Structure 1
Amino acid sequence: MRLKDKVIIVTGSTTGIGKAIAKAAISEGAKVLVHGLEEDLGLQAIQELGEENTVLHIEDISAAGCPEKLVELAIKTWGKIDAIVNNAAWVVNSDIGTTGKAFLGKVLEVNSIAPFLLIKSALPYLSVSKGVVLNIGSVNAWSGEPNLLAYSISKGALMTMTRNLGDVLPRTHSVRVNQINPGWVLTERERQHKKQDGLSENWYEEIPAMYAPSGRILWPSEIAAAAVYWLADESGPISGQVVDLEQHPLMGRNAPKDPSTIHGKP
């Protein structure tokens, strides 16, 4: 059991990638604080993951005092914290025309500032356990899609924070900080978002090879499998690293001449 008896806070874990990480962590012996926005989804997740392995907190991660509440609940329930996974994020469309100061500030609060505050709140306990921080970013951190401006900015900030704290905290607090940047992942909400954008019910079954050379996009369980490595002791002293999890290189790739083809066939 690679995470036996470890206590892990996973934000945004009632659905999608966060829920998959919580499930994988529990299967490896961990106890997980499950966090999200919707109580019904949270209660459902607790039932699926097992009440004996979890505790639930429902609140906007950017709400005043939420990071401190997560830390307090984990300590009250299990007496320690071994790792935190900053997964909660607001994925919202915007471009330069629709991104104002208040809107950008809100996206940064959820996607960049709240993760920082959770790290800061948990740091005294992570220092004791010589723990781990795993930030869940996005390949959009490198530049982003045209309609994901604010989101991309926030993930770029998260990536810089990971590299900065990943250099400092091992020396000052014996805490490692790393990040994984998922590419295109088939979460429940991604299915809904693309349908709202006008795509068909089964849009994910026929994706152009330019975007999915393998013929499909990533599954949450595949991101979770990678997360376990960074949360486990087997990743050793590695810190300050950002790993992209996508099925093609992000820069200098050889895209198909006809992006409408799938595996080279119209």
Structure 2
Amino acid sequence: MFTNKVVLITGASSGIGADTAIEFAKQDAKLVLTGRNKVNLEKTVKQCEAASPSKLTPLPVIADIDKEADVERLMKETITNFKQLDVLVNNAGIMQVGSIENTSLTQYDSIMNTNVRGPYHLTMLASPHLAKTKGNIVNVSSVAGLRSFPGILAYCMSKAALDQFTRCVSLELASKGVRVNAVNPGVIETGIHLRGGVSEADYAAYLEKCKETHALGRTGTTKEVANTILFLASEGASNITGATLSVDGGRHAMCPR
């Protein structure tokens, strides 16, 4: 399905990004994987090589999506090595705890730079190459882009912005044959909450509460999100663009709790 297709995935060193890379590798895609953690990124590269039917080795690029020079280098290395780009997966993202009463502008800038400005910049650079291949983009958003939640203000704002970015860019690139969609996961156990400042005890209680707040009675898995990303990037979704597809066990449809 993705043989001879070049797929660029940000935030590929762990979580949804790593599993998405492995699933693309199973389809023999030519992968460009980027992240900030060299050790973890190399682990993903080895897993992808093992999963690839042709034992293709992904191109790893250590880069920070927040830094303009890194984003420009990432795109340059992609095109220099593979001469084309077929799929861009804007997955890199961060979350931090904070309300309007106790957040800071530093936190706001950090979250918006990673979750919005980074994808914006990379998409700018990728668009001409995707137009040549009639490729597509999948943005990794969140149920927090569709629903409002207290205590993660900047994160919710960033994902709502990413959803609107998805819709606007889908209209702008449609005439070029480039599709743009987003996946909106619910709670996926990737460690993003713990890295964002949630304590171990609070996180455990939160996961237990998810049995009530998710219609299917459980959290999701990274592979479930990865499979949805592959679907949106495939010819099976050839008439889908501008969509924000929930992969959240029904969380978006539940009453607030």
TM-score by length of 2: 0.89
Query: Contact 1:139/1:183 (CA < 8 Å) preserved in 2?
Result: yes
Match of 2:52 in 1: none
CA deviation vs aligned residue, 1:187-218 (integer Å, no higher than 9, x gap): 244577697242487985x5553124444310
**What one-letter code is carried by the residue in structure 2 that aligns with 1:17?**
I
Structure 1 counterpart SS, 2:75: helix
Match of 2:2 in 1: 3
Q: Tell me how far apart the structure 2 counterparts of residues 200 and 83 of structure 1 sit (CA, whole Å).
A: 34
Q: Tell me how far apart the structure 2 counterparts of residues 240 and 57 of structure 1 sit (CA, whole Å).
A: 29
> Are 1:236 and 2:235 an aligned pair?
no
1:49 is displaced (CA, Å) by 1.4
Q: Percent identity?
A: 24
Bigger share in helix? 2
Match of 1:26 in 2: 25
Change (3 A) 1:112 1:193: closer
**What one-letter code is carried by the residue in structure 1 that aligns with 2:161?**
A
Structure 1 counterpart SS, 2:160: helix
Query: Contact 1:9/1:70 (CA < 8 Å) preserved in 2?
Result: no
Q: Tell me how far apart the structure 2 counterparts of residues 125 and 232 of structure 1 sit (CA, whole Å).
A: 17
Q: Tell me how far apart the structure 1 counterparts of residues 24 and 210 of structure 2 sit (CA, whole Å).
A: 33
Q: Tell me how far apart the structure 2 counterparts of residues 143 and 214 of structure 1 sit (CA, whole Å).
A: 18
Match of 1:49 in 2: 48
Alignment RMSD: 2.3
**What one-letter code is carried by the residue in structure 2 that aligns with 1:235?**
A
Q: Tell me how far apart the structure 1 counterparts of residues 215 and 241 of structure 2 sit (CA, whole Å).
A: 31
Query: Contact 2:3/2:27 (CA < 8 Å) preserved in 1?
Result: yes
Alignment of 1:58-97 (within 5 A): 58-97=62-101
Structure 1 counterpart SS, 2:66: coil
Runs (4+) of structure 1 moved beyond 4 Å? 188-195, 199-204
TM-score by length of 1: 0.86
Query: Contact 2:87/2:137 (CA < 8 Å) preserved in 1?
Result: yes
Alignment of 1:96-175 (within 5 A): 96-171=100-175, 173-175=176-178
**What one-letter code is carried by the residue in structure 2 that aligns with 1:84?**
L
The unaligned stretches of length 5 or more in structure 1 are 260-266
Q: Tell me how far apart the structure 2 counterparts of residues 120 and 111 of structure 1 sit (CA, whole Å).
A: 15
**What one-letter code is carried by the residue in structure 2 that aligns with 1:246?**
D
